[in-house]
């Protein structure tokens, strides 16, 4: 079965290595493409954009995997996993959006704090920024806190988290398809 990055088990490392080399070499694909265009290298710029779309689509694929995992966990009554996977569905969809819109994202843990920094033209951006932060807070409690004392702090039910994640993933796909020509 193919992985989110489009590779199969036999070549996961080479697909990952290529992506890592691309991210390191371009750092900010939008800025890199602008510089190539200034030099008249538009064909190279188009190739960079095409691979940047591929990278964004891979992160989006991971978002859909996490969303399905959240739904599966809900059917098994695993609420902690629902909170966690719902957030990660939104986080990876946000990462795809931010990567294509801004040209770069951090590959370090601080990127979780940036998940709310959606482009200004993203639909209902202010409300989604709040929703992403709420899902993040629920994920932290689900993954790290003692439920005997912290479950009462959750303001969302597991099904609410799945519904928000599903709606966000759909909105992100529409946005990326419309604005960046992805095929999600």
**pLDDT tens, position by position, 131-170:** 999 999 999 999 998 767 777 788 999 999 999 999 999 9
Question: Is 106 inside a domain boundary?
Answer: yes
Question: Are 22 and 55 within 8 A, CB to CB?
Answer: yes
Q: Please state, in angstroms and rounded to a whole number, the distance separating the CA atoms of residues 162 and 96.
A: 19
Q: What are the structure tokens assigned to 28, written together?
A: 């900010």
Residue 118 domain boundaries: 12-180
Higher pLDDT, 55 or 20: 55
Question: Is 68 inside a domain boundary?
Answer: yes
pLDDT in the model for residue 8: 52
Question: Is 57 inside a domain boundary?
Answer: yes
Q: What are the structure tokens assigned to 182, written together?
A: 């992805």
Question: Is 5 inside a domain boundary?
Answer: no
| pLDDT, tens digit (0-9, with 9 covering 90-100), for 58-99 | 999 999 999 999 999 999 999 999 999 999 999 999 999 999
Domain count for the chain, please give it. 1
**pTM score > 0.75 for this model?**
yes
pLDDT over threshold 60, residue 13 = no
Question: Is 3 inside a domain boundary?
Answer: no
| DSSP-based helix, strand, coil % in the chain, nearest 5 | 75, 0, 25
Token pair 């939104």 is at which residue? 90
Question: Is 4 inside a domain boundary?
Answer: no
Question: Is 172 inside a domain boundary?
Answer: yes
pLDDT over threshold 50, residue 1 = no
CATH number of the domain that 25 lies in? 1.20.120.330
Question: Are 85 and 67 within 8 A, CB to CB?
Answer: yes
Average pLDDT, the chain: 89
Question: Is 1 inside a domain boundary?
Answer: no
DSSP calls for 67-120 = HHHHHHHHHTT-HHHHHHHHHHHHHHHHHHHHHHHHS---SSTTHHHHTT---T
Average pLDDT value for residue range 2-29: 68
pLDDT over threshold 70, residue 33 = yes
């Amino acid at each position: 079965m193919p992985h989110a990055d489009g590779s199969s088990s036999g070549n996961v490392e080479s697909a990952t290595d290529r992506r890592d080399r691309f991210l390191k070499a371009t750092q900010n694909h939008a800025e890199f493409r602008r510089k190539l265009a200034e030099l008249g290298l538009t064909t190279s710029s188009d190739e960079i954009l095409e691979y940047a779309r591929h990278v964004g689509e891979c992160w989006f694929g991971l978002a859909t995997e996490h969303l399905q995992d959240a739904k599966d966990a809900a059917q098994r009554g695993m609420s902690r996993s629902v909170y966690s996977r719902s957030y990660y569905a939104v986080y990876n969809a946000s990462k795809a959006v931010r990567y294509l819109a801004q040209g770069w994202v951090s590959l370090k843990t601080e990127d979780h704090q940036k998940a709310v920094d959606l482009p200004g033209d993203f639909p209902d951006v202010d409300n989604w920024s709040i929703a992403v932060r709420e899902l993040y807070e629920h994920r932290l409690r689900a993954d790290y806190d003692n439920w005997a004392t912290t479950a009462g702090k959750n303001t969302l039910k597991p099904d609410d988290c799945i519904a928000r994640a599903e709606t966000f993933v759909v909105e992100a796909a529409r946005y990326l398809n419309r604005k960046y020509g992805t095929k999600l």
